[in-house]
Structure 1
Amino acid sequence: MTVAAVGIVVVSHSRPLAEAAVELARQMLPNSTLAIEVAAGTDDGGLGTDAVAVSTAITTADTGDGVVVLMDLGSAVMSAETALELLDDDVRARVVLSAAPLVEGLVGAAVVAAGGADRDRVAAEALRGLAPKQAHLS
Structure 2
Amino acid sequence: MSADKQVGIVLVSHSGPVAASVAELAKGLAGGGATAPVAAAGGVEDGGLGTSAELIADAARTVDQGAGVALLVDLGSAVLTVKSLIADGDELPDGARLVDAPFVEGAVAAVVTASAGADLDAVEAAAREAYAYRKE
DSSP 3-state at the match of 1:22 = helix
CA RMSD of aligned residues (A): 1.8
Contact 2:5 2:67 in 1 (8 A): no
Take 2:5 and 2:123, find their aligned partners in 1: how far apart are those partners? 11
Contact 1:3 1:114 in 2 (8 A): no
Identity of aligned residues (%): 41
Take 1:20 and 1:3, find their aligned partners in 2: how far apart are those partners? 25
What amino acid does structure 1 have at the position aligned with 2:117? G
* Aligned pair partner of 2:41 in 36, 39, 42: 39
Q: Could you tell me how far 1:83 is from its partner in structure 2?
A: 2.1
TM-score, length-scaled by structure 2: 0.88
Gaps of 5+ in 1: none
DSSP 3-state at the match of 1:81 = helix
- Residues 20, 4 of structure 1: CA spacing in aligned structure 2 closer, same or farther, 3 A cutoff? farther
Deviation >3 Å, runs of 4+: none
1:87 — aligned with what? 90
TM-score, length-scaled by structure 1: 0.87
Take 1:13 and 1:127, find their aligned partners in 2: how far apart are those partners? 21
Q: Could you tell me how far 1:50 is from its partner in structure 2?
A: 0.8
1:53 — aligned with what? 55
| Corresponding pairs, count | 132
Q: Could you tell me how far 1:48 is from its partner in structure 2?
A: 0.4
